[in-house]
Chains A and B, each alone.
Chain A
Amino acid sequence: MLYREAGDFKTTYREDNQTFPIKSERILFWAAMAFAFLVVPFFIDSYWEKSVLVPLLVWALVALGLNILTGYCGQVSLGTGGFMAVGAFACYKLMTAFPDLNIFFVVLLSGCVTALVGMIFGLPSLRIKGFYLAVATLAAQFFLIWVFNKFAWFYNYSASGQITAPERAVFGIAVTGPNAAPWATYLFCLTILFIFAWFARNLTRGRVGRSWMAIRDMDIAAEIIGVEPLKTKLSAFAVSSFYIGVAGALFFSVYLGAAEVTEAFGIDKSFLALFMVIIGGLGSILGSFLGAAFLVLLPVLLKNLFVGSLGWPTDVAAHIQIMLIGGLIVFFLIVEPHGLAQLWRLAKEKLRLWPFPY
């Protein structure tokens, strides 16, 4: 009923291949985009920016990056926090070394640096798989954090090891630093995420994405039909790290404004990203967004509900929140192992047939 396909005719292959083949879905997508780009910036305040929307966008980008590697190419990674740190520190070094470079390019270059680092740490994936690879990437996590904490060059020899983002502007409007307007930082992150998600969606539908999935599903069979493991796995590591590096750069420069490597990019960040991907749905672009939304918005929502509305003591609320979120993760994994994206798929399926299911 709502998702009616009847009367939605396709006359070209192009139309048949589009991302959203159903008309009502296209309308929904563009309406959501119009809302995000044209309506939200007029109403956003610094609370919604710093506590809700910018973290959501940044984490969605991280989840997207990890989903490319883990969801599409099947390589488990626990090094996400470390790769985010690479992006953040590359961003910091570039920002302070080239003050005139536009922040947009700084962010992209940070992604490129992270892609290189990611490829180096992706090399073991040619030999080892599964849990063993997870352990190898875990080593990357600890090694990278140690490097950024140990060598003072990375934080410009500041006494405390903290890095602080100076003010940088796009078209004369500050997007980093404390004086950046909420709408500016929000739109900056949203634009980057939009481009990257668009790119990821099309990348995963094309030849490259199919070769990743072939490796994921059965690497020996893939090799026999002519998919090169070296190129495929390393390209997945490169693209994934590029996304995560860009996200790390945004995380530091736009969202937090200052960061301390052990605290901001610890192992818990790697797990958080992995949870997002698993809960959202492995191998799904939408899943990355849903997983990030689930794990970023739910704690804030619960906090506002418990402390703000019900007036509970903060420690009780914090403990209940930890238990609830943990419980929900287990619940979702048992009830729907394919993640929130699968729930959405099923809901769509039901809506198509409603009210006359067969």
Chain B
Amino acid sequence: MKLTKIAMAAAVAAVVSAGPAMADLVFPSLSYRTGPYAPNGIPFADGYADYLTLINERDGGIGGVKIDNPECETGYNTEKGVECYESTKNIGTGALIYQPLSTGITYQLIPKVTADGIPLHSMAYGRTSAMNGKIFKWVFNYPANYWDGATIAVKHAADMEGGSLDGKSIALVYHNSAYGKEPIRTLEEMSKEMGFKLTLIPVDHPGQEQKSQWLQIRRERPDYVFMWGWGVMNSVAIQEAANIRYPMDHFIGIWWSGSEQDVLPAGDGADGYKSLNFTGVGTEYPVFADIKKYVVDAGKAAGDGTNLGTVQYNRGMYAAMLAVEAAKKAQELSGHNDITAAEMRDGMEALDVTNATLEALGMPKFGPEVHVTCENHGGSGAALVQQWDAKAKKWNAITDFIPSNRDLVTKLAMEDSEAFAKENNITPRECK
């Protein structure tokens, strides 16, 4: 034990003495490249890192200040997530933004970042009610949240039925965790409003075994199946659905259940499967030429360069883009380039990404417009529906961005966030 301690001290000393370059903008990446969720975690982390590398290589950083992107492996595990947060938050002049890509870790970090004063961006995951900026000052979840996703999926199903879901049935296959449970309240509310029957079918972590769940679906034959899955659970569910010959165009996944890694294992059986998405797919955007030139061909890509254009890669890029834009905004607001975490937060709160901004970045129509305010940390809440074409091995967007039922989402988010504020003695701040 003594030896371990000495070696430990030596290792820590080495870490401290190595230290990063001075005065970088630190965007830590809590990634997971191992474990059951790695198939989705790897391309996302690659996209995030590659976009930041592009900004460093092409533009010389943000406003002339380079970005430091220390990576820490969480394995989608909360304890490791805490360790990663603690070990990266003081790098250089301090971390500016956290994007853990895990609802569990997000819940864990919400109180911590609030105490430490570091903004947390859970892009379309995490705690939905964090969209209430009056109560969650340091937490952002733009451009959309799970409850938006639930209403959009219901809307799409209603459109397919010609407007009404009365008397229909919807089964929700969900990851039995904080993440998967998120949409239940919204769907219950909507089932009362629109008259469809909701069946809840939980799948336990990690979701490799779903025989009994799909047997139930085979027996009950719900008109629609929605899925809130992640990692290996997605591909297993899609395979099972193909096995019981469930009509794939009635099987709709949330945006985290719709990447290439999820549908490819099921082969032709996955043809017609739908999922929501809030970013464009493919490499037909001008920005990819730059990524190819400055990052991949220069040998600086985070992965092997094969993930470019995939759903999760593009999403990681989008997350990085939003962080970079917020940092630019923060530099503009504060008037200097070495921004602090608090200034970064102000930048995120004033973030305004329009179609013109996206166009200028070489990503026209890549994602929805994002407009963040003091009250609304949740963006616009729009998402599109994409469908898998197994022959071409390609996702095709079949709708434009569909706005969510924001009245309902806001109402539920207010209730939930106010309950949270009461439980934790938080006084909502005033928004001017």
Chain A positions near chain B (C-beta within 8 angstroms): 46-47, 50-52, 55, 96, 149, 159-162, 164, 166-167, 177-179, 256-260, 262-264, 266, 289-290, 293-294, 297-298, 300-301, 303-305, 307-309, 313-315, 317-319, 322
Contacts and interface: CB of A to CB of B under 8 A. Distances in A.
B156 interface: no
A328 B199 CA distance: 47
Given A164-B424, A301-B11, 19 more contacts: A47-B90, A149-B176, A160-B179, A161-B181, A162-B107, A164-B107, A164-B423, A178-B111, A178-B112, A262-B176, A293-B1, A301-B4, A301-B8, A305-B11, A308-B14, A309-B15, A314-B31, A314-B72, A315-B33
B205 interface: yes
A257 B73 contact: no
B184 interface: yes
Nearest to B76: A263
Nearest to B302: A313
A260 B18 contact: no
A325 B204 CA distance: 27
Contact of B7 (A166, A256, A301): A301
A167 B114 CA distance: 14
Contact of A263 (B34, B87, B104): B104
Contact of A260 (B15, B78, B416): B78
B203 to A, nearest CB: 11
B18 A309 contact: yes
Given A164-B107, A166-B423, A46 B12 contact: no
The SS class assigned to the A binding surface is helix
Given A309-B18, A315-B34, A260 B82 contact: no
B205 A262 contact: yes
A264 B108 CA distance: 11
9 closest residue pairs by CB, A with B = A315-B33, A178-B115, A308-B15, A160-B178, A178-B111, A314-B73, A51-B83, A309-B14, A47-B86
A78 B40 CA distance: 31
Given A162-B107, A314-B73, A51 B204 contact: no
Nearest to B34: A318
Contacts of A259: 78
A88 to B, nearest CB: 13
Interface in B48-97: 71-73, 75, 77-79, 82-83, 86-87, 90
A308 B8 contact: no
25 contacts: A47-B87, A50-B82, A50-B83, A51-B82, A52-B8, A159-B182, A161-B177, A162-B107, A178-B111, A178-B112, A178-B115, A256-B108, A258-B107, A263-B78, A266-B205, A300-B8, A301-B4, A301-B7, A309-B14, A313-B33, A314-B31, A315-B42, A315-B73, A318-B33, A318-B34
Nearest to B178: A160
A256 B111 CA distance: 11
Contacts, number: 134
A6 B79 CA distance: 48
Nearest to A294: B4
Contact of B18 (A290, A301, A308): A308
Interface string B126-144: 0111000000000000000
Nearest to A146: B204
A304 B86 contact: no
A189 B115 CA distance: 21
Interface in B171-225: 176-179, 181-182, 184-185, 204-205
Contacts of B185: 159
- Binding site of B, secondary structure by majority: helix, strand, loop or mixed? helix
B413 to A, nearest CB: 10
B11 A309 contact: yes
B100 to A, nearest CB: 13
A266 B185 CA distance: 25
A52 B87 CA distance: 11
A256 B79 contact: yes
B115 A159 contact: no
A316 to B, nearest CB: 9
B79 A55 contact: yes
A148 B385 CA distance: 35
Please indicate which of the listed interface residues B75, B78, B79, B82 has the most CB atoms of chain A within 10 Å of its own CB: B79
A238 to B, nearest CB: 28
B4 A297 contact: yes
Given A159-B184, A160-B127, A266-B205, A318 B4 contact: no
Count chain A CB atoms within 10 A of each CB in B5, B12, B179, B185 and give the residue with the most.
B12
B214 to A, nearest CB: 20
A319 B34 contact: yes
Interface in B363-415: none
B310 to A, nearest CB: 18
Best-surrounded residue of A177, A293, A309 (most CB of chain B within 10 A): A309
Nearest to B87: A47
Contacts of A96: 423
Given A162-B107, A309-B15, A315-B34, A263 B73 contact: no
Contacts of B129: 159
A351 to B, nearest CB: 13
Contacts of B78: 256, 259-260, 263-264
A178 to B, nearest CB: 4
A322 B33 CA distance: 13
B108 A258 contact: yes
Contacts of B18: 308-309
A294 B2 CA distance: 11
A263 B83 contact: no
A24 B33 CA distance: 48
Contacts of B82: 50-51, 256
Contacts of B75: 318
B19 to A, nearest CB: 10
A198 B185 CA distance: 48
Contacts of A51: 82-83, 86-87
A257 B111 contact: yes
A96 B11 CA distance: 41
B73 A260 contact: no
A305 B14 CA distance: 8
B86 A161 contact: no
Contacts of A178: 111-112, 114-116
